[in-house]
Amino acid sequence: MFQRDDPRARAPAFLRRRSSLPVWADLAWRVGLIFGLVTLVLLIHWIERDGLRNNIYPDRPISLIDILYFTTVTVTTVGYGDIVPVSDTTKLFESFFVTPIRIFVWLVFLGTAYHFVFRNVWHRWHMSRIQKTLQGHIIVTGYGTSGSEAVRELIARGIAPGRIVVIDQDEHALALAEAVGCNVLKGDATRDQTLDDVRVAKASAIIVSAGRDDTSILVTLTARHLAPDVPISVVVRATDNELLARQAGATTVINPASFAGLLLAGSCAGPHVADYMADLAGTGGPVKLRERLVTPDEVGKPLSGLATGIGVRLYRAGRPIAFWEEEAGQIYGGDTVIEIVRGDG
């Protein structure tokens, strides 16, 4: 059986915590810090005012207005040359104290502008560009163990990472999804706006793996409301919730515990049954299952006559037909076949 590592186990973990300060408080402490530094420079300039000279009015003593003007100019710029330091003490103060403060103040200004203005504008512009290209994409809500494994399997099956959109509220999970090339969105997938942002109505499929059955069912309800025709696959942990998930609009309901039980039961029938079942479910083994529509040249042939693989089941008008049934003796146009084909392993 092919074993895969959880991507969370390979990526380094970083301890961080969201700031508890509201936006206004964050902005206030930045303004207060700059005001405090300017006040400190102003005070020292006043004490060292004898080391300054006014080149415009050389005979006029340096006043408090001159000090205030000189301080604001030197902290925010390199000065205009109308008031200049002349003593060695004042020159050293300007070189080793005011210059680092000037650089720090500009860094605070730029950081604040980026944090509150440019970043939001950039994110909105970048998001609008991505949204314009979203068509026939696959949405994965929840990038935990099941969601990340689903994404890796999709990529292994030839789906371009750029066609996958991952929605999660955990920054670390989103970073892992982004690292493999997926589009990511931090948000609550139970909300209409979040799913609208990823163009759910234009998606080709939705995978719901929220980690909790109640949340997954609510996401399914929301997605089905916004995208009536898009296939939805949902993971549930409790058997009792499988019917609820189908009633919520799920096309496919997967219970990992039930699948694990199938593998365990299969292992009792023979030492290789469970391995073969796992190979069929994935792409990393020597064989895999594939679902496709029949081609025109296959119409009229029996299910056992497929040239591309071993036909094990076909679907006609939504009804499953096993390979041993009489209806499987002739394929009709519009049928869907399930076949065993060569894997990538």
Tens digit of pLDDT for each residue in 80-92? 778 888 888 888 8
Model pLDDT, residue 23: 63
- Which pLDDT band holds residue 247 (cuts at 50, 70, 90)? very high
**Among candidate residues 112, 116, 70, 113, the one with its CA nearest the CA of residue 93:** 70
Show me where the domains of the chain are located.
Answer: 23-131, 134-254, 286-342
Dihedrals φ, ψ of 104, to 5°? -65, -40
* Average pLDDT for 6-15: 40
pLDDT tens profile 159-216: 899 899 999 999 899 999 989 989 888 889 999 999 998 899 999 999 999 989 999 9
Instruction: Give the strand order in the sheet containing 287-293.
Output: 287-293, 336-342, 310-316, 319-322
- In eight-state DSSP terms, residue 295 is P
Q: What is the CATH number of domain 134-254?
A: 3.40.50.720
CATH class of the region 286-342: alpha beta
Model pLDDT, residue 8: 42
Residue where the block lists tokens 């119409």: 299
Beta strands per DSSP E along the chain: 52-54, 83-85, 138-141, 164-168, 183-186, 205-208, 232-235, 252-254, 287-293, 310-316, 319-322, 336-342
- Which pLDDT band holds residue 3 (cuts at 50, 70, 90)? very low
**Contact criterion met (CB below 8 Å) for 291 and 337:** yes
Cα separation, 215 vs 237, in Å, equals: 12
Model pLDDT, residue 234: 94
CATH class of the region 23-131: mainly alpha
Model pLDDT, residue 4: 41
- pTM, two decimals, is 0.58
Give every CB contact of residue 109 below 8 A, 6+ residues apart in sequence.
34
Model pLDDT, residue 103: 85
Kindly tell me if the per-residue pLDDT of 267 is higher than 60.
yes
